[in-house]
Every structure is written in structure tokens, then in C-alpha cells.
Structure 1
Amino acid sequence: MYNSERWAIELLDPDQSREEDTEGIGVPFFQLESILAATNNFSEANKLGRGGFGPVYKGKLPGGQEVAVKRLSSVSVQGLEEFRNEVMLIAKLQHRNLVRLLGYCMKGNEKILVYEYMPNKSLDAFIFDGEPKILLDWAKRFQIIIGVARGLLYLHQDSRLRIIHRDLKTSNILLDEELNPKISDFGLAKIVQGREMEATTNKVVGTYGYMAPEYALEGFFSIKSDVFSFGVVVLEIISGKKNTGAPKLRQNLSLLGYAWNLWKEDIPFEFMDQRLLESSNSIEVLKCIIVGLLCVQEDPGDRPSMTNVVLMLAGHDIASLPKPKQPAFVARKTMSCSSSSSSYKQDQTITMTLPEAR
């Protein structure tokens, strides 16, 4: 095993809490003074919004390059371990559908990440109800679905480190100037060694509405947990509705339950965002609804791998696709929860510590 990979795995050991230097990982170190200059001392005018782990600012480097600067909050869920985790992981990842880390800064209580700037911010600002600045037509939404699938496939199988993201959601999918998707925020990601594809934790951290049932309820996570989150994202992209909050859906159903009922009643196209009627491709829409429902099935073993997801999205024979089973979380929870309309705003994140077996 590469020394850097061994170090990356050691980073994820919760028993290690000492502050370590992050030299030698191939990511430039920024002096705090240069960060302050780039963001005009973290001025409100440069603030893009606030994510779950702290505010994000737009900055400009001396050469004119625009960057996004994530300043981790001292009271954030993402502490030193998550910070190291994100630096180490994203430094090793190179894929067109993953956001690129340009550098980092650590000084005193300051923990800062410098990313490539995404001028269109996050996917959720474009697809949910309201008046988005640009209405994404079906062709673009379909390409975004495929891009996110390929990014996840890279994390699960094709990268040097097998990685479970654990916090995939529309606000963590950023869009570049051409509206190409890039998965971001690896603070909660976990490396699994060798051929392992699953793990357990006593501390469940994630976002309500995107967490797989086995993870939310039992602390068990795997690549199939990411598949569940991907399925939620796909159904949100198709419908233009959030799985969280209080969507105006019939019979107090969750978005997953709403999609499932329409599928059973053989009227799946009623699930589609009606703004897409003129631009939609019925075969592609139906294929994505089926794939989305397959991904959110309650039993992780019933969910497809991302390899199969990519193959299904690329295929043309809908008749050969498996028939989905009832998804998890069909009934909508009666709890108050609101997701943001931007990746740079606060998402509803839950942290649970599970009781240890005696």
C-alpha cells in the first residue's frame, strides 16, 4: 500500500485526534494572508452563502483565477478529522465529475479549503419549484444524471481508493459554466480498504431525506447507501420537487412514495416536472424513473451497483430493466425540515450517536 494511502486510512480512525501536518499530499498550501487578500478579509460582499460546515466565499488569486473558499466553522460538525479527510481524499481524486481542490490552509483555529469556482453554484438552485435563473431542459437534466452516476462509479470502483461519499445530495452537486455536474463536499466520505464495500459507525452524520434506511437507523453504510442517495437525487431532478420539506403531494406521501404510487398506477409521467413536457424524451424519462426507484429500494441487496446504473442509463431496452420493489420511507415524516435552494446555504443535517452493544 502506498504510504499516502495508508496515511489516508489512518486519518479516518476516530481515535486519532492529534493535529498533524498535511505536507506531502500533493495539494498546495495557502498562507492565511493570501486567503484574506483573495476574499477581501472574508467580506460579506464576497460571501456566496453558508454550507453545512461553514461559510463559502468567492475569492480571486493574484493571477486573476476565481476560487471558492470554504471556511470551516469552529462549531461545525466537520472538525479536524473531517477537514484532513476532505483534503486527503479530494487530493487523490481526478475525474471530470468531481470538484477540484486547489489548496488548503491551516492556522490556529482556521481550517480553509480552496476549490475551483463553480459559477452556477449548485444543482438545487435550478431544479426545485420557484423561478430558477435558468430552466434546465430535459436533455441537460439527463446529462447531469449521467455525469453524477459516472462520478459515483469512479468513487466506488475506478479510483485508487474505494470511497463512500455518505452525503450525496442536490446541494452537493455543483455546476460549472457549461452546467456540467461535479460532486463536492467529501468531509463525511469514508475509505473502505481493498475489496470491502461496507462498514458501520456509532455516529450517524448526514442529511435528512437522502440517507439510506440502514444507515439512518442502524449506522450501517456501504456503496449501496450512496446508491440510495443517488436514487433520491434522480427522482428530485425528474420531478423538480424535494424529498425533504413539505412538498404538496397527495396522501401525505414522501417523494419516493409518490413516485412509487404513480409507477404502480401506470401513470409514471405524471411524476415529471411539467415544465419539461416540451423538451422531454419519454424513453429517457421512463428509464430514469425506473433507475431512480431501483436505487431507493429498501433492501441494499436489491439496489443496483453504480456500474449497472451507468449501463442501464446508457441502454435503450427499457423492457429488460428489473422491476423495482417498494422504496424505503414511503410515508412522509411529520417533522419540520427545510433544505436550502443553494449548496452554499445551510442544509438540514442530522447527527446521531447510536448505542453501543453491551
Structure 2
Amino acid sequence: MPKRVFVHIGAPKTGSTYVQNVLFSNTEVLERAGVLVPATFSAHDQAMTDLRQVPWRDPELYWTWDRLLERFAKWPGDVIVTSEGLGAATAEQARRAVESLHPAEVHIVVAARDLWRTFPSMWQQSIRARSTWRFGDFLTAVEKGRFDGFWDHYTANRMFQRWGDLVPAAQRHIVTVPQPGAPHDLLWRRFAGIFGIPDGVCEPAAPESNPSLGAPEIEVLRRVNDALGDLYPHRMPYQRVVHQHLLRAVLQRRDNDMRFGVGLDRADWVAELADQQIKEIQDYPCHIVGDLAELRPGRMNESTSPDALDDRQILNAAIETIVGMIAHADALHQQVPQPHTGMIARVKRGVRRRLVP
């Protein structure tokens, strides 16, 4: 059994993709350093959905939580398990996960980001996960207390306590996400320090971030989700089709220069929430990496809500998206070897001969 297991549980939209890309692109050098990142990112993601038994999990998934554990059961060093979806586990599911890792020394790692950036990022993440609600409805639900799941599933405070209460205070780690303008590798260095990975072992510059969509692009995706109806209800089929051929191939390749965010009319509310979040973390015994002041919004600028776009803007974005998908389809067609015309003729003649009595 491993000596230590670091369980990175999120929160979503806190640089998880960047950190995971560094980890999974450096698995060999990490193993030589005594740190195992088992299997693949997809394996960790599937194991998370199995642990949580979420309704949108792929019923044909291969990796279960127990199967992932079997992968590193005999590793003598340290192990890292990472999925931003783990933080949304219930208290019972979290307890099952931590107990399944004993007798290893279990460390819980969570990242926190200021809410001014978190709100639009989390709504966009929900749309990428097939949701259909409008941005304004999302903000109002959180503000009016009608979406308590936001705090449980998408922010560090509550998820951290559900998991952190299961381990000693010295094994609870919270990382603050730097404000814009900080060195690009600062977040990775903060995580690496917790994992015990020395400087220079991993190359943090290669991985790419998960590009955000602009207001028209995310509104097009939201409306597509609404129009899909019952198609692709599970995560993996939706990702294989919609993510691959619409999101990554087209929408993320657009300029996406019309950014959206929380309006200044909610600035005081967000600032008050930030102070509450900081106090909760200060009162919870844990290891803090970074500066809690980074959880206060750095810049509060007015922005356009996707809800405020007119039909012309949406139509233009939709038409340009269709054009992009046509180009994508053509590129895929060019990659498929085309049969020789003479071969097609011979096949047709053979079929006709078999059909003639």
C-alpha cells in the first residue's frame, strides 16, 4: 500500500485542468521521483462518477473506484488521485473513499478561487455539462438561496470540510488560485509543494488551459443543449459527440472576445461572500498554501451577460458555428482514405451478379 495518498478533490474551475495536464504529461519522471499518478485522467474521472453514483455516469465505464485503487495497491511511495468532481461527493461517499485508502496516510487537497471569477466559470461549466439554464437564472438562484448545491458542489469551503473532517488537520491542504497577472506556473508550484514534488522534476509550461467561451458562443451551446432533448444523456457520449465536434473543434477556436460575467449591481454581494469565505477557511484548521486575500475579487468590471444578447448576435454566431462545423467535417473526410473508383465498380458488379437468379 502507498505511504501517502493525495486526493485532489477540486474545486471545479480552479486550474484543475492545468494541474492535471502537468501531472499526466510527466508520469514517468514522477514515478522515478517516487510519486505515482495511476492510469489516465479518464480513469480518475470514471472512478469519481462510480464513487458518487451520479445519474449521468456512463453505464459502460471501465474504471470504478475500486479498480483504480487496485492499480496502485502495491505502490510503495506516494500516489496522487485527482478529479474536480470528487468534491461534490456526499459525506458518506467521502468517508468510503478515505477509508478505502487506509492504512495509507490520506491528504485532502482543494483549491479556492475568488467568486467574481468563479460564478461565470461555474455556469459555463454547467452548460458544458449539458445544462440549459440562463446565466441570470443561475445567479438569482444562488443569490436567493435556491441553489444550495452551488456551495456544496462547486466551492472549496463546504466540500473541504466534508472531506477534511475525515483526516487530521495537518493533512488538509487548501490552495488559493492566484489573481490574473501572477506567474503562469505559480499555481503548479503551490500544488507541487503539497505533493512533495521538487522543483525541476516536472515541466509546467507545456500543458494548455481549458479555454473559456465568449458570450455568443456559450449561448449557442446552451440553446443546442436545449434542442438536444433526450439525445446523449450520459457524460461520455455527450463528450464524444458534442464536446469533440462542436465545443473543441469549433466554439473554442473562435475569437471568444465578448467576455461575460457578474454585473456590477452584484459587486457588494460578491464582496460580502468573499469575506465570509475567507473567515470560514481561517476558522478551519488546515494548511493554507497561498494568500487568502486572493479570494477577494481583484477587478470588478462591467460585462455583457449572454442573456442580454439580441437575436442577431446569436444568429450570426450560430451561422459562423455551422460554417466551422462544415470545415471540420470536411477535414475529417479528407483524413479517411477513399476507395479507388475501380474497386467500387468491381464491388457493384459482384453484388449485381449475386442478386441475379
Query: Fold conserved (TM > 0.5)?
Result: no
TM-score, normalised with respect to structure 1: 0.29
Q: Which has the larger radius of gyration?
A: 2
What TM-score results when the alignment is normalised by the length of structure 2? Answer: 0.29
Higher relative contact order (CA 8 A, sep 6+): 2
More strand by share: 1
